[in-house]
Structure 1
């Protein structure tokens, strides 16, 4: 099933897709290039996920995707200092791979 909306967290622009999407420049093992745009895109994804199929993806599905999912958990009410553990428990044990990705989640608003 195709998503209605997607966020692609990649170091370079993804191939074209048939559905609405946003590309966030986010190199592997690093943080997003534009943190304000990333926060806006994550808020949009969170709001749309209530009644739409939303996809969030990076190259490997762990670090960048895990970081984004932890930020979505924060938007949904999980305390910042518990969001990484939450995603690791409910999504993937290796999610949010680097110390700076963890710090990004703890500071996300």
Structure 2
């Protein structure tokens, strides 16, 4: 665990189920360098809502591809234009975030659609 307070809610973006944690959490089946294997918009909206009053954690194996993609989708839900969300996350979080062309395309098309 990194230094600092524990999260109150965690979203884990992994190909395999993560170990259990003592806080509320969700696992999104999301293999490395790929896209989520299930709809994510409802989970991301919940995380954004909870982040207003709680410490929310997003994590994957390396913290760049899947986590960066999720953060860009959160940015879209929070009002950043989908066409700028990848650039925004790279500026504010990590210059190497969102690693693959299909992750970039996922963000551009995300737009908070209820079916994703």
TM-score, with length taken from structure 1: 0.97
Structure 1 stretches of at least 4 aligned residues deviating more than 3 Å after TM superposition: none
Give how far 1:17 is off: 0.4
Q: Which whole-Å CA distance do the structure 1 matches of 2:48 and 2:105 have between them?
A: 20
Per the normalisation by structure 2, the TM-score is 0.91
Q: C-alpha offsets along residues 39-92 of structure 1, whole Å, 9 cap, x if unaligned?
A: 111111011000100000000000000000000000110000000000000000
Corresponding position of 1:97: 99
Work out the CA distance in 2 between the residues paired with 1:47 and 1:15: 25
Matched, 1:40 2:42: yes
Paired positions, count: 107
Unaligned runs of 5+ in 1: none
Q: Which has the higher helix share?
A: 1
CA distance in 2, matches of 1:76, 1:86: 12
Superposition map of 1:14-29 within 5 A: 14-29=18-33
